[in-house]
Amino acid sequence: MSPTAPAAAPPATWDAEVRALEERGRVAFLAGDVDTLHALWSDDLLVNSPLNVVSDKPRVLELLQSGRIRHTRNEVEIERVYRIGDVVVVMGRDRVDGPPHGELMDRRFTNVWQFHDGAWTMIARHAHTVGAAAV
């Protein structure tokens, strides 16, 4: 009797894949890993940030490299992930610290991912600060 090969793991669903990319991006941002973020983010990425400005990918990476934006803490709660064709929208809340204010901030966020050329890349992000009691 020959041993049977273990069953192959089922392919990741789009939901699991995007959630894993969200986590990878969170960890990369905390580490200031611009190479990973460069790979995860579309060249056309736009970010509407809590700094009340809309920035493109090069500007966000520059702000991160310079330390203007940098967190040592980033706790994320994803509340909803949904897909419309080749686009996935991720919505939730996070709690971060660090520049520019150096204090703990509660935020709401929306990340938008697009499947293009065989990979998911983030194409847009919106984050804004809310009161700690916001639900």
List of domains in the chain: 14-130 (3.10.450.50)
Cα–Cα separations (whole angstroms), residue 15 to 64, 86, 115: 28, 12, 12
Pick the closest to residue 100 from 63, 54, 47, 46 (CA basis).
Answer: 63
Interatomic CA distance for residues 95 and 58, integer angstroms: 24
**Per residue in 102-131, pLDDT tens?**
788 899 999 999 999 999 999 999 999 997
pLDDT exceeds 70 at position 11: no
pTM: 0.85
> Could you tell me where the beta strands, DSSP code E, fall in the chain?
41-48, 54-56, 74-84, 87-96, 105-116, 119-130
**In the prediction, which pLDDT does 50 show?**
84
**Per residue in 50-109, pLDDT tens?**
888 999 999 999 999 998 888 889 999 999 999 999 999 999 999 998 765 678 889 999
